[in-house]
Structure 1
């Protein structure tokens, strides 16, 4: 399985690299809105051996909401919610995509039209407790568009509950994410890398991580040089 996932990632890295050159280094999620946000870690499972999930903290973060295929709204698209947590020399990057929330549907990408929906990491993280996945679900009913301009205008104040689960087990809350004001410009050039920048005590692992690594490398190689 590891060899198949890695081989598949290397295979798709070629067309993704070509697409990245056309999309200024972003083969997927080419259009998005970046916002300031606050991550309030309220304390999650203490027996998983991951202090980052268990310990309370409040810190400013950056969030990017995006449409994965770049399809025009109101068409459904695979939506993304990326979170960057500053952490010294290396940040923590979380990349979540729209999926189901159930025991098995959490592993399946699901196109959506509105951004106030369920997102999961899809990619697993290996830790002392086994394989863990992360999720974000909106707090209460909310109407949030997914196109960058409208979402930037309406997202401030929107809150998501962050959850963690072992395998197909129950979701356990560990944090609250509150969206703030949009960046200026709306979509600055940020490079999220969930494989290289996992939370402390966790390691990106599994077929999705091995599939993603060559794609990240291809996209970064295709980025235009900095002036």
Structure 2
């Protein structure tokens, strides 16, 4: 058994006891679109198209209590080919520092790890730009908001230590179920990251891959 497997083995036990995801256990699956705003060929190879997403609470605190806000989405391919690309982000105070928040619009989401693409290291971040007129961090509030109109996020990219620039708009306009098309696989950027994109550093990617696998196996998702 590898060091990554041994280190993340307790996650399997935690997921088994919880009988659900150990991390980001409460959330809403949603469908929508991503629309590229950056010029083609500038930065990451994101292309416009349909997406499946999930807005979630990291620790699963009840009701509207503060938590780490999560935003994930899956694209069926990118400019380099039709391989799926999963992006996972979480509320942060900087590119790599987790930060709990008290409301959805307050959160600034980060991938926490850079993405290597064609010799460059890129960071992704996002922010909700749709007001949610409910105090607190409630998944139900997001569900109610999507029922009345789309929820939009601005997605930005930065190369290395450079400034962030606008990459795309992410729009969710409907709630989905686990058995809807494209929703049958958990989000996992360590195994689905497009045709030529890789999370860095590799040792941390291996650790995350083992953690996600143990969480899935612990709750019987595989």
CA contact (8 A) 1:66 1:147 kept: no
CA contact (8 A) 2:104 2:132 kept: no
Matches within 5 A, 1:139-218: 139=129, 143=133, 146-155=137-146, 156-184=149-177, 190-206=185-201, 208-218=204-214
Deviates more, 1:81-90 or 1:116-125: 81-90
Distance 1:14 1:81, change over 3 A: same
Matches within 5 A, 1:49-198: 50=44, 52-53=45-46, 57-87=47-77, 90-100=83-93, 105-116=94-105, 117-139=107-129, 143=133, 146-155=137-146, 156-184=149-177, 190-198=185-193
Deviates more, 1:82-91 or 1:113-122: 82-91
Cα separation, 2, equivalents of 1:66 and 1:149: 11
Cα separation, 2, equivalents of 1:42 and 1:33: 26
CA contact (8 A) 1:162 1:175 kept: yes
Cα separation, 2, equivalents of 1:80 and 1:119: 7
Q: Which runs of 5+ in 1 are unaligned?
A: 1-5
CA contact (8 A) 1:126 1:203 kept: yes
Match of 2:214, SS state, is helix
Cα separation, 2, equivalents of 1:130 and 1:211: 22
Aligned mate of 2:36, from 37, 41, 62: 41
Deviates more, 1:33-42 or 1:178-187: 178-187
Distance 1:27 1:93, change over 3 A: same
Cα separation, 1, equivalents of 2:186 and 2:130: 31
CA contact (8 A) 2:22 2:215 kept: yes
1:23 matched residue in structure 2: 18
1:220 matched residue in structure 2: 216
Match of 2:95, SS state, is helix
Residue correspondences, number: 211
CA contact (8 A) 1:35 1:152 kept: no
2:27 matched residue in structure 1: 32
Cα separation, 2, equivalents of 1:89 and 1:20: 32
Alignment TM-score, normalising by the size of structure 2? 0.82
Match of 1:159, SS state, is strand
Deviates more, 1:69-78 or 1:38-47: 38-47
By how many angstroms is 1:181 displaced?
1.3
Cα separation, 2, equivalents of 1:146 and 1:44: 34
By how many angstroms is 1:26 displaced?
1.3
